[in-house]
Copies of this chain bind each other. A is one copy, B any other.
Amino acid sequence: MAQTVAAFKVDYFQFLKPDGKLVEDQQVPALARDYDRLVELYKLMVLTRTFDKKAVALQRTGKLGTYASCLGHEAAHISIGAAMREEDCFAPMYREYGAQFYRGVKMSEVLMYWGGDERGNDFSGPKHDFAWCVPIATQCLHAAGAALAYKLRGEERVAVSVVGDGGSSKGDFLEAINAGSAWKLPLVLVIVNNQWAISVPRDKQNTAATLAQKGIAGGLPSIQVDGNDMIACLWAMEKAINAARAGKGAFVIEMMTYRLSDHTTADDARRYRPNEEVEEAWEKEPVKRLKAYLIDQGAWSEEREAELLEECSKWVQQAADEYIDQVENNPQGVTAMFDYMFAELPHDLEEQRAYAEQFPEDGGHH
């Protein structure tokens, strides 16, 4: 007897085409007509991009450490922030500033972090959100743990985590899917597939048709969306978060986008990827697309764009100034490295702290 015991599929959703027109052949979500909301999101996209440019510039002029650009990921990232509630929990990887800005993290705090100052992690966003997470994919399990905590306490809160196409190969992500399945957790796992993991292309991560299908391992609903289409991204995020909040368990979304920048400022992508690919990707990028749509719908204009750009520049400059002021005029002392190790300093660290105070300027700033 051969009998099909389980069947699955992965659907791909796109509502807004690269040219800024809606797809014709099907219903688009109501969201597509909520111009006020879309304009708000658009503004944050532009701010995020302005910020990103500034951050790279600060790095190039020696005022910031290694920085991971979010260029091209704006729709994906901001949709995540926009779909969440304050009390939900975000467990980012490292470049989802758009999501974090939406949740209240300040631009100067992002700069502090990449500027080598831990205070950037004590941010103005929700106090229960996780900090940036360098060990790839580990954040997915922290989100699963948060989701478990909410579920055990009967709270209607959802945990959301992001992983890259590269990170989706890691056991942590795969175990998070399994945890989400085993415990039916209020957990949304987003794969932001930007086609590259530093120099390693998507195809080398595995030969499966999609990354979304990793969710099938846990029997989770798993979909793919155009990650440069704000409408599709936000629609998918809301669908997933609503389901999770309603107790229906975890959800996997793969957002198809592209890393338009180098991996970080320490990377030179020209070493490993063809320029044509990047140029092609620029045709599909999310900001231009939403702008075209909004202008088309009469919800946006070039005049407002010009104003917005000016404002964004101003805010970003303010953030940069704030950051520089903090790290230069109010730097952390040598003792800061001891003071947050434990709630109460153990005797051995007390001794080391006292010793370190004898060498306050030691080593200095490189």
Contacts and interface: CB of A to CB of B under 8 A. Distances in A.
Interface of A: 1-15, 23, 25-26, 169-172, 174-175, 178, 181-182, 184, 204-210, 212-214, 216-219, 224, 249
A172 B169 CA distance: 11
A205 B39 CA distance: 44
14 contacts: A1-B13, A1-B15, A5-B209, A6-B10, A7-B10, A170-B175, A171-B174, A171-B175, A174-B217, A181-B207, A182-B205, A182-B207, A208-B216, A213-B217
Contact of A5 (B26, B210, B249): B210
Contacts of A170: 171, 175
Given A1-B13, A171-B171, A175-B169, A8 B216 contact: yes
Nearest to A223: B2
Contacts of A6: 9-10, 208-210, 212-213
Given A6-B210, A8-B9, A9-B4, A175 B178 contact: no
B9 A13 contact: no
B1 A5 contact: no
Contacts of A4: 9-12
The count of identical subunits is: 2
A317 to B, nearest CB: 41
Contacts of A13: 1-2
Contacts of A209: 5-6, 219
Contacts of A2: 11-13, 26
Contacts of A12: 1-5
B219 A208 contact: yes
